[in-house]
Each structure stands twice: as structure tokens, then as C-alpha cells.
Structure 1
Amino acid sequence: MVRWLYAGLSRMSSATGLGVYRDALDRMSEDQITWMPYRPDMLAELPPAGREQTHIWRARVPLICFDIVELHLPDRVMRQFGFEQVIPRPIDTYVELHKLDRRGKHTEDWALRHVRYVTMWDRRAELAVAGTPTYVPSVSGDYMGWYYSITRLFVSPSFRLPTHHYQPSSLALHLTTRALQRIHQRATATVTDIPDVDMYGQTLTGIASLCSDVLGRVDYGHLIHMPASQEMASTSTAAAASSSQTQHERVVLQPRQRRRRRHEQQHLHDEADDGNL
């Protein structure tokens, strides 16, 4: 996915390349994702055998290989099949099932052991997930709120001191977009609370519009719909973890390192103040 982004990335060590990969993922915009890889024109090029029973591609069933059982969950990627993405059904992670292996079980009858899942597989034609066809990839109105509540938006660490290694640009973007997000949400809430004060209302409406425009220009317009309480909680946790790590490392620093660390800490403190507008 990011092979084209950085020449020679495959030759980097895992320690050096990790930050580049994370940064590339964090900076991806919606138009860089192929939501529907199986387009009709591509399917038309497949031999007839490859197009038979395409409806079972959307079968929500277990995939079984001896002791291994993994659920196929097409309802989580409905845009891939040309349908509107809605909130998917909850799943059972089968923790106990994943502890199984074939060691010492040479005579185990796995078809009998997994008869429950084999039965589900036999009903695959009935268990195909239905959906609303769309011309362009889209989601239901409540989907993004649910998605933000269960996922992690950035894979790069949000709070860490600068080093001499590769510095992901997504960290600065993270702080900027979060600050704009908070401004937008507070301004919008204030406009709702004091509708009778025209001047305040117009000013705050302008601020909200500006934030929305900037977030949209950097391909993060979807953050406006993210619940504010969730983001504030995750940011506080990350900041506390960073503070604890800094205190632990301080005991091993040499005098010159301590001076540099104080400068870096002040820089982070200034950034945090700017982010808590």
C-alpha cells in the first residue's frame, strides 16, 4: 500500500522503517483507499467458474481448517461489495476456541469437534449478508460515531520526545487537527446555548466554519463527528503515560542531555498549551 511512497523503504531495518509505515498509514486520505476492489468490469474478466455463486462472498460464516476456526465477517466491509456500510453485528471472539491446536490430538475428529461451525458453513447460501446497494462508497448516518468509539484513529504515538530518527509528520498533524476539532465542537455548542446573542452567534459560527474548512482541506473533515468525550479521555491517558516515561528516564541523563531534555520538554509543554485552546 505504501510501497510507492518511499523509495528504498523495503531495505530499511524494522526499527527504522516502522515509523515511516505508521506515518504513511496515519496520513492516508479517503481517496487513497480502494473501497470496492471487485468492480463489475474486473469481475467480467474472470473465467465463468470465478463468477459462480458470488453471493456467498458475503456469507457470514466460519472458515474451518482442522482445529482452526475463524469467522468471515463481510458485514464489516460492505463497501467492498458495493453496499452501504452500517454498524455490524457484535461478534463472539471465541477465546477458548482459539486456544485449540493439533498437538497431541492426532486422532481427533475435527469435523465432529467443530460440528456447530460445520453446520453454519453448510448454510452459507442462507447466511449471505444483505445490504443497500450504492453507486459510491457510503456509510449510514450512525456508523462513524460507532466506529470512532471502538477504533484507534492513529497508529503513531501521539506524545513522545523528539529523537534523531525519522520524525512522522502525522504527529504535528494530529495535534493540529485535534485542536481544531475541539475549537469547532466548543464553538458549535456555544452557538446552540446562546442563540439570542447575535454577535456571539455570528462570531462563533464563523469560527466553526473555519475549523470545518481547515479540517476538510487536510482530509480530516470526518473528525467533526467524533464524540469529544472519547478524544479528551484518550488524549489525557496518552499524556499521562508520556509524563511517567519522562520521569523514569531522567535518572540516567548526563548534564548535556538534561539541558537538551529540558528544552524538549518545554517545547512539548508549549504544544500542549496550544492544543488545549
Structure 2
Amino acid sequence: MYNPDRVMRQFGLKQRIPLLTNTSKELHKIDLRGKTDKDWSAEHSDYASMWTERASNIANDELLEEPMGFYDPYMVWYRRITRQFMSPRGAIVEALAHGITSIHQLTLGDDVSILRIRDMAASTLTTIHVDYRIHNMLPFFEESH
């Protein structure tokens, strides 16, 4: 069965954490070979009805106004449920970026030495091309603490 809530972003809509669905493993096991006596239209009438009614089941949501942020709830969920790294090097870069992003978050005060540390963290994140993690971070930081 098609789950449009899993591909909203591809259509310019806000991507949310998808609902759990029961994907029938039995459907994937169907083999039509040697089953010429089976009435497949009756067997799959429920799915045919869903297809016929497809125009009344169009997914709608908010338009995606800007790229999803690193701390968007969907991205946090996605990183939790997916395999993120193809190599140990990728995991090392992630650990580095996470640590420096955490340092950057802790330096939101206005003391001169704190500002220098914050600038160094931001510069390092820019150098390793993960500075998108700190753009618009303040609202996230305030919400989570």
C-alpha cells in the first residue's frame, strides 16, 4: 500500500514523522505463476477500490518554505531510525561536528572569551561543511531547555 506521508517533502510539503503502517508481507510473496484459475480481480478488490478512490485521498499539508533544519523533529527521528554512516570516517566527522555544535550551544552568553570560543566553534563547523547545524539554532536551544 502506498504511504504518501512518507514522501511529502518530494512534493514540496512539510515532512512529518510518518505513522506506523502494517505493510503486508503476504502481498510481497504473491507469485502468479501457475495460478491461472484464480480470480485476481476478486482477490485484490480492496486494493482496486482504493485505487479507484485515489482522487479523494490526496495528501495535503503545509508547504515546505525552506530546507528542513538539522533539528527539525523529522530529521531527529530519521537520524535515530536509519543507518547514518557508510564508513568509520563518516562516524568520526559526525562525532566531531556533534561535539563542536554542543560547544557552540553552550557559548550563547556575551562574555568576550565565550564569544571567542563560540566563533572558533562556528569557524570549525564551517570548515568541515556542517555549519547548517548552527543556523537558526537559538529557537531550538530555548525550546529544549
Asked if TM exceeds 0.5, the reply is yes
Asked if 1:96 corresponds to 2:26, the answer is yes
Partner of 1:215: 125
Gap change, CA 1:125 and 1:216, over 3 Å in 2? farther
Given residue 6 of structure 2, which amino acid in structure 1 is its aligned partner? Answer: R
Say if 1:84 and 1:131, in contact at 8 Å, map to a contact too: yes
| Unmatched 5+ stretches in structure 2 | 138-145
Aligned pairs (5 A) from 1:1-277: 62=1, 71=2, 73-138=3-68, 141-154=72-85, 156-158=86-88, 171=89, 174-185=91-102, 187=103, 202-203=113-114, 206-207=116-117, 209-221=119-131
Say if 2:100 and 2:121, in contact at 8 Å, map to a contact too: yes
Deviations 1:128-169 (A, max 9, x none): 110112454446932211111112223x232xxxxxxxxxxx
Output the CA distance in 1 between the equivalents of 2:131 and 2:31: 45
Say if 1:177 and 1:220, in contact at 8 Å, map to a contact too: no
Output the CA distance in 2 between the equivalents of 1:208 and 1:96: 55
Partner of 1:20: none
Runs of 4+ in 1 over 3 A off after TM superposition: 134-141, 187-192, 205-213, 216-219, 221-225
Say if 2:107 and 2:117, in contact at 8 Å, map to a contact too: no
Output the CA distance in 2 between the equivalents of 1:190 and 1:82: 34
Deviations 1:145-200 (A, max 9, x none): 1111112223x232xxxxxxxxxxxx3x6423422312432x367669xx9xx97x
Output the CA distance in 1 between the equivalents of 2:54 and 2:125: 43
- Percent pairwise identity: 32
Normalised to the residue count of structure 2, the TM-score between the two structures is 0.67
Output the CA distance in 2 between the equivalents of 1:176 and 1:92: 36
Output the CA distance in 2 between the equivalents of 1:181 and 1:208: 14
Partner of 1:46: none
Say if 1:74 and 1:129, in contact at 8 Å, map to a contact too: yes
Deviations 1:14-34 (A, max 9, x none): xxxxxxxxxxxxxxxxxxxxx
Say if 2:100 and 2:125, in contact at 8 Å, map to a contact too: no
Say if 1:184 and 1:208, in contact at 8 Å, map to a contact too: no
- C-alpha deviation, 1:118, in angstroms: 1.7
Paired residues in the alignment total: 134
Partner of 1:260: none
| Unmatched 5+ stretches in structure 1 | 1-61, 63-70, 159-170, 226-277
Say if 1:83 and 1:134, in contact at 8 Å, map to a contact too: yes
